[in-house]
Amino acid sequence: MSGAPLHSAPAGSTARGEKLGPVRVGLLGIGTVGGGTFDVLRRNQDEIRRRAGRPIEIVRVADLDVARARERVGEGVDVVDDARRVVADPDIDVVVELIGGCGIARELVLAAIEQGKHVVTANKALLAVHGNEIFRAASQRGVMVAFEAAVAGGVPIIKALREGLTANRIEWIAGIINGTTNFILSEMRERKLAFHVVLAEAQRLGYAEADPTFDIEGMDAAHKITILSAIAFGVPVQFDKCHVEGITQLQADDIRYAEQLGYRIKLLGIARRRTDSSPGGFELRVHPTLIPASRLIASVEGAMNAVLVKGDAVGHTMYYGKGAGAEPTASAVVADLVDVARMFTSDPGNRVPHLAFQAESLSDLPVLPIDAVQTAYYLRLRVADQPGVLADVTRILADGEISIDAALQREPGEGENQTDIILLTHRTIERRIVAAIERIEALETVLSRVVRIRLEDLQ
């Protein structure tokens, strides 16, 4: 190759040797994650400057509790009680939004973009619901919206999908992406306790909020898998089409039976590309799932997160770590700030796209309805202890073109006249299993509603 040789500039300088000034950051919210972000930036400032090529400084903080915030950040940082003042400050280069929710946070993020400021956020709900609007506005204004901390805390899954796996056609993602529910399910399995008992323990230990609905009903995981699916498949975010089931109805009996059959139950967020349907589409769902105990992701316990990704070239890769907490999440926020600092003066057209694919090249691949999902199933039936019951059930399943992979029947106790039958099916279409269950529940020998839990082999 001919032409003049290329020379790299020293860290903190331009190619002409001019020192780059600091990136000036406005922080909206100095709670758990905001405080962690402030601490990590201060503690590792030398390392961060060497990596970013310039200093990164939090110069203004907005928090309703001004006295507490001033005590937290000390001298040298301006503290205000109105986040709009930070957004409007012409000296602020990057706004870090750590307020949460979709109300004022959306207003502030869009205002920051309109003012030409880059944005870093950990707000998965905001991006899952309003991401298309926010990314479009950012592209039009030529600024970056960085959001590694929005999914799986300190686990760099966004960067892995968007950059590290860019050569791959992503086939599917399956993630344990809510630490609260994983802690609850781990404790239910290990200690043989009921859901409500473990939930109270999780609240006492700080793993669950006083109102845990957002976590235990699967909404938090749904926001995250919506974002991951958009990056994996190059589609707009489509949270309203995500099927969501939480863990509140799970019973200790099912966790025990699953283990006897060689499985563990996890709340998974799943995004799967489907090429067997016409037109094509992808599954987007959150629900309790049986996973073979031999799979590495099945051994993820406690409040930890893990995301398993299948790419056509690389095969399986797994990303594991702390999905929440002050400094794990702050790690991702600061990494985003470093990325922004590095790309500050770059041509917007050459930056990594928000959703991995160029904005004009996003696909219209649709989200398939839940009745078109294809998976295997765990079924638990409470039945009368009499001959012919299992034969009737298997006949109904066969009529629905559903084959059985394994069966387990509990021996009734002395004096009992009913028992549990547990069946594992091969993969089938959801609408078939729903129709079969309706017929099974109509049998006089079936004494209660059939418990159904989806099963994924993750191969």
Question: Given 224, 266, 310, 322, which residue is catalytic?
Answer: 224
Give me 48's structure tokens: 């961060």
- Report the alpha-carbon distance of residue 62 to residue 305 in Å, rounded: 30
Is 159 among the residues known to form the active site? no
Which residues are catalytically annotated? 224
